[in-house]
Amino acid sequence: MDSITKTAQSWLTDFFDEDTKKEIKHLIDNDTEELKERFYKDLEFGTGGMRGVMGVGTNRINKYTLGKNTQGLSNYLKKSYTDDDIRVVIAYDCRHNSKTLAKTVAEVFSANGIRVYLFSDLRTTPELSFAVKHIGCHAGIVLTASHNPPEYNGYKVYWADGGQIVPPQDGEIIAEINSLSFEDIKFDKNESLIHSIDRDVDDAFFEASVKNGSFDAKGKDDFKIVFTSLHGTSITAIPEVLKRAGYKNVTIIEEQAKPNGDFPTVESPNPEEPEALSMAIAKAEEIGADMVVGTDPDSDRLGIAVRNLEGKMELLNGNQTMVLMTKFLLDQYKEKGFKGNEFIATTIVSTPMMQQMAKSYGVEFKTALTGFKWIGKMIKDFPNSTFIGGGEESFGYMVGDFVRDKDAVTSTLLACEIAANAKANGSSFYKDLIDAYVDFGFYKEKLISLTKKGMSGAEEIKQMLKDFKENPVDTVQGSKLLYIEDYNTSIVKNVQTGEEFTLHLPKSNVLIYETEDGTRIAARPSGTEPKVKFYISTNAKLDKAADYKSVNSQLETKIEGILSELNL
């Protein structure tokens, strides 16, 4: 505890503002447990940049922790681009303090002689990714905590290609940040280097979204959409993009349309949670809409509900939407004729169905660690290859490469194009998905996410993953274990023969079981929240669409059995 108190006391110097010092003195005198939580470590970059609870302390998001990040990034940019007029673009979302923190970040860059383009108001994360390349910036920052609870905020860093930073660059930037003390932060702004941006970039982004997400779908006039921005940024983009693409029947959930960092109408502003879209689904049932779309606060994830075989609205998971969007894009490319250099991509915890489709269409399949930065990196690493589209199970998708991060704006348009077209052809989004299961195998997935907060929670997560690794199962629902993939050691072991293979991906705290019947169970800690996640994938052959219900029921029973066996 002494070292924690000492760290806290270092924030009582004249460099820190009076409110900060007052709060720290109060914690030192009255609340040692809270003091410990705030100062026991420094906030770190995870799979989605830096994310944390707002407040005073080294383990919190505040002007000093973000100021230090920005100072380190400024130093790194100046070392990397010695001769250039360095430019960065900054966006922020609807969260509390986002606007103020974005201004602070802009001021620190300007104090370092770096030119800043700051959005005049909140914008989506995909527009920030687009803006980096569009304006010709060396880096971009977005202030967001994505779908985390209201007390969180965050800081994501993008490089000149519009993609998030990846190794070894992230490590080099972190080393630069860690070499600094808080007193090294330059807060003395240069206003002449800070430029406000809005409509010009918006229009260019909307045009690019329409161009990449439109496929001359039939039936737009007859297609009804219910849209909710869940109090987030997508209200600034999605209604306009749908309008420009020719969709006239769009009902917006007005109670959730106003950006609000408290997210007052939902438990969690995460479209992965069924409850988040309940208001929109109720409206869709009331007005007879064909599709519901909801996005998270920074508009990089989208949740979709469509009418099932009984005509009721059903929320699809990220694997299902990803599969159908990718199949649709593959069909478009196939129609024009493949050139032989195309690829699709997903992550190691997403559905294996993506690989089956790639094989069937004869395109390359690439797989990455969790986090969209790895998919963005593939595009940069293979400049002669064409990225068709790809996503991850956590409701993120990217169409083409004009944006280099998951993009709920263009993906929303793509989903509407698929569904409107299907309806005009006497089918539906749901029926098209079932047809894909007949063609490529029926894959059904389930995610279990357990929240474990604070220091004790971090220890609990560590122990759960240790047990998962050191005490592997022999069978899963009667199917023998075949492979254990350990991304921490980069080794795949065939447990039946003892053979070992090398995994050619960066090291990561992920362990995957695969059984003889192709069932996969993955475990990993979240990089951005105090959670441990278990991903379950099962599969079966679907001979014809008419068998869907019975096979779906079998797979559901199998998943319940797996959860019971693993005590989840």
pLDDT tens for 491-527 read 999 999 999 999 999 999 999 999 999 999 999 998 7
Mean pLDDT score of the chain, rounded to an integer? 95
* CA distance linking residue 185 with residue 41, whole number of Å: 19
Q: Examine the residue annotation and report whether 146 is marked as an active-site residue of this protein.
A: yes
Whether the CB-CB separation of 53 and 38 falls below 8 Å is answered with no
DSSP, collapsed to helix, strand or coil, labels residue 339 as: coil
Q: Do 210-440 and 442-566 agree at the fold level?
A: no
Residues whose CB falls within 8 Å of the CB of residue 14, separated by 6 or more in sequence, listed in order: none
- Over residues 467-479, the pLDDT tens digits come to 888 999 999 999 9
Give the pLDDT confidence score for residue 526 in this predicted structure. 84
Q: What angle do CA 327, 237, 125 make, to 5 degrees?
A: 75
Q: What is the mean pLDDT of residues 399-422?
A: 98
Residue 48: is its pLDDT beyond 70?
no
Can you tell me which residue has the tokens 């959730």? 256
**Largest pairwise CA distance in the chain:** 73
Predicted confidence (pLDDT) at residue 329 exceeds the cutoff of 80: yes
3-state secondary structure of 270: coil
pTM of the full predicted structure? Answer: 0.95
pLDDT-derived band at 85, boundaries 50, 70, 90: very high
Instruction: Give first-to-last CA distance, the chain, whole Å.
Output: 35
Q: How confident is the model at residue 46 (pLDDT cuts 50, 70, 90)?
A: low
- Opening angle at CA 537, ends 531 and 540, nearest 5: 165
Tell me which of 3.40.120.10, 3.10.129.10, 3.30.830.10, 3.50.50.60 is the CATH number of domain 47-197. 3.40.120.10
Task: Match domain 210-440 to its CATH number in 3.30.70.20, 3.40.120.10, 3.40.190.10, 1.20.1600.10.
Answer: 3.40.120.10
Phi-psi region of 352 (alpha: psi -120 to 50; beta: other; left: phi over 0): alpha
For 179-225, the pLDDT digits (tens) are 999 999 999 999 999 999 999 999 999 999 999 999 999 999 999 99
Instruction: Please say whether the beta carbons of 35 and 8 come within 8 A.
Output: yes
**Quick one: pLDDT band at residue 47, thresholds 50, 70, 90?**
low
Cα 220 to Cα 224, 284, 286, 540, distances in angstroms: 8, 17, 20, 35
| Mean pLDDT, range 533-555, rounded to an integer | 98
Section 144-164 average pLDDT: 94
Could you tell me the residue ranges of all domains in the chain?
A: 1-40, 47-197, 210-440, 442-566
Average pLDDT of the residues in 374-393: 96
pLDDT at 337 over 80: yes
- Tell me the pLDDT tens digit for each residue of 413-432: 999 999 999 999 999 999 99
Catalytically annotated residue among 74, 98, 129, 146: 146
- Residue whose C-alpha is closest to residue 112's, from 188, 44, 53, 203: 188
Rounded CA separation 223/201 (Å): 29
CATH of span 442-566? 3.30.310
Tell me the average pLDDT across 24-39: 94
